[in-house]
Structure 1
């Protein structure tokens, strides 16, 4: 089964993305992305899949994966039960890692760990326990402290002599093949045309499906409706522009694909809990206080 593409949006003013989610959640599926990922399980147990590896996980399960390595964690929970925070995730691009971090001579000791990550690496329980406070703090850290925590986490992983690789040597990710699947072509198309007038009926035509069939297909693979997915990506991109540009709220509204400001404000408030102008002011306040 070909994995689904996960679109990872790292904000332009950040070098890496740190976040967490509960269970069930829309990204809990067999998927891949062109970013490195460090994932720590904080609650639940179950089965996990990395490349052609299948194993058991429990709280403290810490895994480091190279780009395009398919993976999934499936928690075993009674029907109807949900978990607010199942894991912590750190994702970063190859450009940032290889062209920024690994260019320092002092960081070459990470070469072995990076090579092992192509098959996925799982770490000792003690390393998972030590990584948790670092990743928890990373959720809210800023400026130099954020980078310091990131390097401390990498150091922790590199010094774990009990780590082991997961996927077999014969397993080789094939992202070009993955992208040939219909859902991945659709997700890529949406990401590249976010500022245009995206209509579900038009995208369904591109996928060669009726709107009804496409709607079910899209929700099955993403965990949300087409409209929800588009709005989530648009608001995320709006956040980037609010903190990284001097554009007005109205200009940002049209740049991310909304056709009127009131509609943009409504969706932004629903997702972020504050209007766009307040979001920008709060971010600037945080920058000043951290200076």
Structure 2
């Protein structure tokens, strides 16, 4: 399934206005997909890469996200995690339209529409207390009928009050057609993510997309917001981050495992994207990795 052609998921709301789910890892539910419903998504365990629209970033246990209608998303646990997890994700799916109708009936609730608008690009609620987030999710899970709706609304109000909301995707929505440029660019993106260690030139990527180099470069920039070489480096640095905080491999070894041929080049790109050296990143990440792992055992 292409990163630019997400699987479309249909949610039955004929008997309930919100849907609660939780699942472990690995799971068939961990896939690149989109749906009409908004989604609140709490990561309970592991670390890895978040893909939301055209955003690629790190996630860890306790991170809380919201995605808007039809915004493709997936959370990919890093390959260095080998043990299955009983519960990795807790999530709630709900209708944007239902919340809008609630605000029509109760004007005091209209302020919550702000985060629904923001969620069209994806939101990460940075610094939101993970214990509180899990408590709200459990309250929704463990209640029924009107009580479940009240628990859900209470959570939305708290999230709206939270100050640190990080907007994730530059593109609100990408809806490719079968043979469109989006679909062909998506094939290249899939190839890069699955084969990030291999060398792939702009010429090879252009051929894979069935475009001239000039057309490919222009379309890739338009679809992803990044030049092709920049995108490849971002994917590789993201993979390197996972190796740094979850293994004791030397930086030189990780450089080559991530697909870089030159240590100086690796260090330069890492510093540009992360604002610190690989060694500094490892030290910083491990400081908050231990408590996160302890809470998910």
Give TM-score, length-normalised by structure 1.
0.56
Matches within 5 A, 1:49-60: 49-60=51-62
**Match for residue 95 of structure 2?**
93
**Match for residue 111 of structure 1?**
113
**Match for residue 4 of structure 1?**
6
Q: Deviations over 1:2-30 (max 9, x none)?
A: 33324243453211001101111112122
Q: Deviations over 1:194-251 (max 9, x none)?
A: xxxxxxxxxxxxxxxxxxxxxxxxxxxxxxxxxxxxxxxxxxxxxxxxxxxxxxxxxx
Q: Residue 77 and residue 139 in structure 1: after superposition, are their counterparts in 2 closer, same or farther (change >3 A)?
A: farther
**Match for residue 122 of structure 2?**
120
Tell me if 1:63 matches 2:55.
no
Gaps of 5+ in 2: 184-297
Alpha-carbon contact 2:128-2:162 (below 8 Å) kept: no
Q: Secondary structure of 1:88's partner? A: strand
**Match for residue 197 of structure 2?**
none
Give TM-score, length-normalised by structure 2.
0.55
**Match for residue 175 of structure 1?**
175
Give the paired residue count: 179
Q: Deviations over 1:26-82 (max 9, x none)?
A: 121221111110100011111111111111111111011110111110112547521
**Alpha-carbon distance in 1 for matches of 2:81, 2:73:** 23
**Alpha-carbon distance in 1 for matches of 2:79, 2:94:** 30
Q: Residue 120 and residue 54 in structure 1: after superposition, are their counterparts in 2 closer, same or farther (change >3 A)?
A: same
**Alpha-carbon distance in 1 for matches of 2:44, 2:59:** 10
Q: Secondary structure of 1:55's partner? A: strand
Q: Residue 77 and residue 176 in structure 1: after superposition, are their counterparts in 2 closer, same or farther (change >3 A)?
A: closer
**Alpha-carbon distance in 2 for matches of 1:18, 1:159:** 23
CA positional deviation for 1:102: 5.2
Alpha-carbon contact 1:4-1:178 (below 8 Å) kept: no
1:75 to 77, 86, 89: 77
Q: Secondary structure of 1:111's partner? A: helix
CA positional deviation for 1:162: 1.1
Q: Deviations over 1:161-184 (max 9, x none)?
A: 11111112xx14133637998xxx
**Match for residue 249 of structure 2?**
none
RMSD, aligned CA: 2.3
**Alpha-carbon distance in 1 for matches of 2:52, 2:176:** 18
Q: Residue 103 and residue 157 in structure 1: after superposition, are their counterparts in 2 closer, same or farther (change >3 A)?
A: same
1:142 to 144, 160, 164: 144
Matches within 5 A, 1:1-291: 1=2, 2-78=4-80, 81-101=83-103, 103-168=105-170, 171-175=171-175, 177=177
Alpha-carbon contact 2:11-2:35 (below 8 Å) kept: no
